[in-house]
Structure 1
Amino acid sequence: MENNRRSFIKKLGVAGATAAIIPSSFASETKPVNLLNRQTKFTGNKTLNIALIGAGGMGVADTTTALSHDNINLLAVCDLYDARLEESKQRWGNSLFVTKDYKEILKRSDIDAVIIGTPDFWHKKMSVDALNAGKHVYCEKPMVHSVEEGNEIIKAWKKSGKIYMVGSQGMSSLGNEKAKELLAAGAIGTLNYAEGFWARNSAFGAWQYPIPDDASTQTVDWEKYISISEDRPFDPLRFFRWRNYLDYGTGMAGDLFVHLFSSLHFITNSYGPNKIAATGGLRHWDDGREVPDVLLGMFDYPDTKQHPAFNLSLRCNFVDGTSGSTFLKLVGSKGSMDIAWDSLTLKRNAGGESDDPFLAEKAKEESGRPDRKKLVPPLETIYKAQNGYKGAHYDHFANFFTAIRENGSVAEDPVFGFRAAAPALLCNESYKKNEFIDWDPENMKLG
């Protein structure tokens, strides 16, 4: 750890190191800003043909990002609602092949990869079918609708030899890359606690998605939608606001906690927690939904080769005036990191003595009267993305396409994706049963 600490100081540079360690008036007024830049280079020019399965909000966003890359062609779109198919043609061209049967897409030999942006309960079946059909897969998080489905996808993926990327796109952010580097360098000392927070307040952000005026069994293939779920009469709420119902969605944990788990596990190299607890309630959005709009999670991470034992707390709130704020914080014995996708703030404990001779002497010179103590804030170093940064979503797809072209690997394969999804989904079990859940993160099974 000592070598890591000295390496970290060298990386900061003399000015940055002084500001990060010395409790002085200069340090309290100066917040060095460092530019984040990409460490991983993505290459490859082979043209890839893709198709979209599920043309709702996230599916459209994924496809738009995918098409912002060079040499990517969209050939087909599948959705169960007529208007989305028409909108897809308007958005991407009348020559687009559109269908309500995703298996028609999987039969096509000219399609290399599919994006799965459907409700969660279809993820496993479509993923396995696509892999068995020889397609590369980009599947939106949380990859599975229940923990029982995870190993089936992993098995199909390993058998197929294809690339499978889970869509927790923030994982590929510059902020996460810098956090991983700083943690390994000992910048915050020994990790002992982490927390994450996701807040929303708007109706759309709280899953009150608009219901089209023409929603009916004439425009929606309801029978196909529920064909792998419980038989119910047509309900536009369960189709267009599916996240509110456990038959189709995975609640706040599956939608948002999973992003935080993905980032945390990437930064720490963790397999996940071994004890899970959750509580919460329906505090505001009393619209018939089956899931809470305030959810709190607590998690124990065991001591492993990758990291020391630490605790994690997660909060999600759809009744919050901050309307969309999100963060991940890692706390250690010597400091903390506030991590966003395009920035990072490193805070070092103020007032601690340095064992670096130069810095220790510098601190004495600047202390003025040694008998006069000062109020000192945590000492900050700020990292921000360089101008022109295209974002984590863009880089996540870059990783996916490069892996396909070069027969490489991705940052969020099904094993990683399942280890992020499982503790999130088990929050729902803990909330429902009002009890702790034991989980074996290495072997990916209930304890």
Structure 2
Amino acid sequence: MEENKRRGFLKKLGVTGVAAAVSPMVFAEETKSLHYLKRVNPTINLSTIKIALIGAGGMGTADTETALLNPNIELVAVCDLYDARIESAKEKWGSNIYTTKDYTKILSRKDVDAVIIGTPDHWHKQIGIDALNAGKHVYCEKPMVHSVSEGKSLIDAWKKSGKIFMVGSQGLSSLGNEKAKELLAAGAIGDINYAEGFWARNSPLGAWQYPIPNDASTNTVDWNRYIANTKKRDFDPLRFFRWRNYLDYGTGMSGDLFVHLFSSLHFITNSYGPNKVSATGGLRYWKDEREVPDVLLGMFDYPESDQHPGFNLSLRCNFVDGTSGSTYLKIVGSKGSMDVKWEEVVLKRNANSFDDDPFLAEKMKGQNAQSDRKRIVAPLETVYTAEKGYKGAHYDHFANFFNAIRTNGSVVEDPEFAFRAAAPALLCNDSYQQNKFMEWDPVNMNLI
């Protein structure tokens, strides 16, 4: 019975070009071999949600601007440790917003329903727990925590609070991920056996060479508050404005970028994560006294589980790359593969995978009539891409967050999901620094 359903799905996929969506909100329409994905947003009366931003740097600002694109969202307060960012926030969002350098004053305000945490990684856990304890909903940038040891305490605080906590690997809410999840579940590539991901950047800003303001000093930056939960040091503008380069504050390439690939892969496969982690790499180009590599390679063993067969994953990241910013996730199965991006999925099906598949029979009809000689046969390819006007994964991620607040619902990336994505990324750093395999229990979320 299940096999007939699967074949029926694949027949529709190849012959009629119509594919059912992962939810009633997503549809696919055929244009030859190109399928357009779209999302239909409901039009209902929405209550106003008042938000505050804690950490008004590049990502915090981008998050807030995206959040405000959603209907009936109001920004009431901003916290940052650098004077110029506070002034910039007032210019962007109005001089009437409340501003401070002390995030606890934000959490004490009764007019704040939810906070966006866009701080450096070393403050995610504490501000997250404090916000939950103050009765606030939380949108926290990835990775959710700065080290594996911090995960359980934040999860416990979330469960106790009854509040919504969303982590910001925004690609999770993309049409591309949803289509890939649906195709894998339908058997379009057979059983998964391997996956790989790649992230490359070729611009100075993409390699965390953020500009240092001329006025950077202890007169404009609350340095003591910044380092309050880590090693005491004299003021260093590089460690404040280029914090991702330093282990006291950031989590390296894996915590910044691998975590996106883990999040997407786990969403598509329903996986809890790998049980073995290894990493290698080096500082090959950006020799600017940073403490993290600019080339990182990770290898991961995913054990057989109720959700999927056992498979292997390889991830690569390169900050000096001629492709100027390539990003992809490839998932390989016994019958084909998928190249997954946030707004596109390319499905490739093996032409010789099995003889009784109506999808393949229709595509291959008449191709072998001229000769008995065997040929190299290219995969059969179907491309799914977002239609024009799609607002993007970042918008949809916040829409999921705000809908969960209004309906007391759930989010796609709650703390348990987020920790299972963050842990193998953080363990990459440990493997690289300690030069050894790291063993992880992905179900119970424990280091072995």
The TM-score by the shorter chain falls in which range?
Answer: over 0.9
Q: Distance in 1 between matches of 2:359 and 2:409?
A: 45
Report the TM-score, using the length of structure 2 for normalisation: 0.94
Give the conservation status (yes or no) of the 8 Å contact 1:284–1:319. yes
Cα offset, 1:381, TM superposition: 0.2
Partner of 1:165: 166
Partner of 2:107: 106
Amino acid at match of 2:136: K
Q: Deviations over 1:151-208 (max 9, x none)?
A: 1110100111000000000010000000000000000011000000000011100000
Partner of 2:182: 181
User: SS in structure 1 opposite 2:52?
Assistant: strand
Matching of residues 170-209 of structure 1 within 5 Å: 170-209=171-210
Report the TM-score, using the length of structure 1 for normalisation: 0.94
Q: Distance in 2 between matches of 1:444 and 1:353?
A: 39
User: SS in structure 2 opposite 1:380?
Assistant: strand
Partner of 1:81: 82
Partner of 2:429: 428
Cα offset, 1:36, TM superposition: 1.2
Q: Distance in 1 between matches of 2:335 and 2:200?
A: 28
Partner of 1:303: 304
Partner of 2:213: 212
Q: Distance in 2 between matches of 1:357 and 1:135?
A: 53
Partner of 2:413: 412
Q: Deviations over 1:71-118 (max 9, x none)?
A: 000000000000000000000011011100000100001100000000
Partner of 2:282: 281
Partner of 1:97: 98
Q: Deviations over 1:54-77 (max 9, x none)?
A: 000000000000000110000000
Gaps spanning 5+ residues in structure 2: where? 19-30
Q: Deviations over 1:255-302 (max 9, x none)?
A: 000000000000000000000000000000000100000000000000
Q: Distance in 1 between matches of 2:281 and 2:257?
A: 15
Partner of 2:222: 221
Cα offset, 1:42, TM superposition: 8.8
Matching of residues 34-433 of structure 1 within 5 Å: 34-38=35-39, 45-356=46-357, 360=361, 363=364, 365-433=366-434
Cα offset, 1:239, TM superposition: 0.1
Cα–Cα, structure 1 residues 261 and 244, in superposed 2: closer, same or farther, change >3 Å?
same
Cα offset, 1:35, TM superposition: 1.0
Give the conservation status (yes or no) of the 8 Å contact 1:8–1:182. no
User: SS in structure 1 opposite 2:348?
Assistant: strand
Partner of 1:21: none
Give the conservation status (yes or no) of the 8 Å contact 1:31–1:380. no
Partner of 2:34: 33
User: SS in structure 1 opposite 2:290?
Assistant: coil
Partner of 2:28: none
Q: Distance in 2 between matches of 1:122 and 1:230?
A: 13
Amino acid at match of 1:228: N
Q: Distance in 1 between matches of 2:45 and 2:409?
A: 11
Q: Distance in 2 between matches of 1:99 and 1:211?
A: 22
Amino acid at match of 1:334: K
Q: Distance in 2 between matches of 1:246 and 1:31?
A: 50
Cα offset, 1:40, TM superposition: 8.3
User: SS in structure 2 opposite 1:292?
Assistant: coil
Partner of 1:26: none
Amino acid at match of 1:107: S
Give the conservation status (yes or no) of the 8 Å contact 2:202–2:321. yes
Give the conservation status (yes or no) of the 8 Å contact 2:135–2:163. yes
Amino acid at match of 2:149: E
Q: Distance in 1 between matches of 2:324 and 2:360?
A: 43
Say how many residue pairs are matched.
435
Q: Distance in 2 between matches of 1:364 and 1:219?
A: 71
Partner of 1:27: none
Amino acid at match of 1:214: D
Cα offset, 1:441, TM superposition: 0.3
Q: Distance in 2 between matches of 1:2 and 1:92?
A: 55
Cα–Cα, structure 1 residues 282 and 345, in superposed 2: closer, same or farther, change >3 Å?
same
Cα–Cα, structure 1 residues 92 and 363, in superposed 2: closer, same or farther, change >3 Å?
closer
User: SS in structure 2 opposite 1:189?
Assistant: coil
Q: Distance in 2 between matches of 1:365 and 1:265?
A: 40
Q: Distance in 1 between matches of 2:232 and 2:137?
A: 31
Q: Deviations over 1:19-60 (max 9, x none)?
A: xxxxxxxxxxx9700111238869660100000000000000
Give the conservation status (yes or no) of the 8 Å contact 1:42–1:399. no
Cα offset, 1:373, TM superposition: 3.4
Amino acid at match of 1:83: A
Cα–Cα, structure 1 residues 243 and 43, in superposed 2: closer, same or farther, change >3 Å?
farther
Give the conservation status (yes or no) of the 8 Å contact 2:79–2:103. yes
Amino acid at match of 1:354: D
Cα offset, 1:360, TM superposition: 4.1
